[in-house]
Amino acid sequence: MKKITSRLAALATLLLLLCSMTLPAFASGQTTDNTSDGDKELQYYLGTPVNAGWDTGYSKQKEIAQNDPHFGWTLGKFFVSGHTRVTEDENGDPVFLKTVGDTVTLWFHLEQEIDQLDGKENLTIAADTNGSDTYFGVEKGNFGRGTLIVRHRDYQNNWDEPVVYTNYLSANAETGADTQVELFEEGDYEVALDYEIKDSKAEAFGVSLLPMYSDYRIFFRFSVRNGNCMVYPFDVKTKAELTNTAVTENGFYLDLAKSRYLDIDIKKEVLQEGADGLTEDVRFNRPAKDGDCYTEEGIYTITVSNRYTGQQTQKKLYVGTDNLLKAYVTTGLSIQEIRHQVEKGAEIGEDGTIQTKKHRWILPVLGIAVLAGIVLVLRSRR
């Protein structure tokens, strides 16, 4: 019986050792391609090629038909990485939302050998020596073997001049590799890859006889927006950041931290004498913008909305020296409730907090108790 028990114990120990060796492999999150799930970056693919005619400034948009030399294979793919979330605008174009630490990047993955497209020796990327782009207004010139064009629009609806990368496929892209195109900040973008294909169906003595040329274009639009929903008010004089329910005598200005696409509204309230005593009265409730400054006395409620995430943030500040209004902003109590507490003997501190009679006795009593304890300890040691 003892032998059986010892053998069972040994078997149990062996099983425990095996489990301890196999469990970490599952806990690490590794996949069949030896890449952990945490290392896989979110990617969003963009663009579909069309037949752009020939020598038309890449202006045509014809579907690639079955008899087209480009039918059935893809030159490469564009994709965006480094974002936290993707949504769509009113036109159905993607909007990439970035947060702190994100670097939104456009990449191009070349899938073909440009001297042997689709594995066919007669298909190559041609050097377009008199290329032009009608849409971007790029005049005729040597486009080389593929031209990449990028254009940016800022928050003021101003389009920059397009950036043109000629001979892109030959000089910048490597077959089978992901090539970084550009890093992107907030704004709207248009991207096009123009390229020409040479189809040499017949050759004699190494020379192409009556080659056929066709132009193709991959075009897409996208936008980049900050995914946060924050505004930062700063004291006009001290330049210190003011948090929610803060009090300042100097006034404040707004800082959006370069988030140009947030909607900001600001409401100002003051106290007015009415039939029921002092009440809050709205003086204005209007849109605001980055850099706006407010120095007049009043209670300000700042509301920030992000139209792409649906999130909203509010901050309430008081500009002035009135203790009643300080308490109103700091505590969130109504004016009537604060006045009622003051009438019962409560006091309002400089920071807007309310101290009742009960609370005001706590510190002196605690102080006396501590002193009495110290005296007793000293007497006991004599």
Say what the pLDDT of residue 31 is: 27
pLDDT 10s digits, 219-261: 999 999 999 999 999 999 999 999 999 999 999 999 998 899 9
Which residue, among 116, 110, 146, has the nearest Cα to 128 in the 3D structure?
146
3-state secondary structure at position 59: coil
Contact 61, 135 (CB under 8 A): no
Per-residue pLDDT tens for 284-308?
999 999 999 999 999 999 999 999 9
- What pLDDT shows up at residue 71? 96
- Per-residue confidence (pLDDT) for residue 20, from 0 to 100: 39
pLDDT at site 2? 43
CB 52 within 8 A of CB 59: yes
- Tell me which amino acid residue 14 is: L
Distance CA 131, CA 168 (A): 13
DSSP 337: H
Q: Measured between alpha carbons, how far is 130 from 128 in angstroms, rounded to an integer?
A: 6
Q: Report CA torsion sign: 341, 343, 346, 352.
A: positive
Paired with 254 in beta bridges are 233
pLDDT at residue 335, rounded to an integer: 77
| Dist. CA 136–CA 306, nearest whole Å | 31
From start to end of 4-55, where are the E strands?
A: 43-46, 49-51
The pLDDT of residue 325: 83
Is the pLDDT at 263 greater than 70? The verdict is yes
What percentage of residues in the chain have a pLDDT greater than 90?
Answer: 63
Q: What is the predicted pLDDT for the residue at 271?
A: 78
166-196: per-residue pLDDT in tens?
999 998 888 999 999 999 999 999 999 999 9
Using an 8 Å Cβ cutoff, are 263 and 304 in contact?
yes
Residues 6+ apart with CB under 8 A from 271: 278, 279, 280, 281, 322, 324, 325, 335
Express each pLDDT in 302-344 by its tens digit.
999 999 999 999 999 999 988 888 888 888 887 788 888 887 8
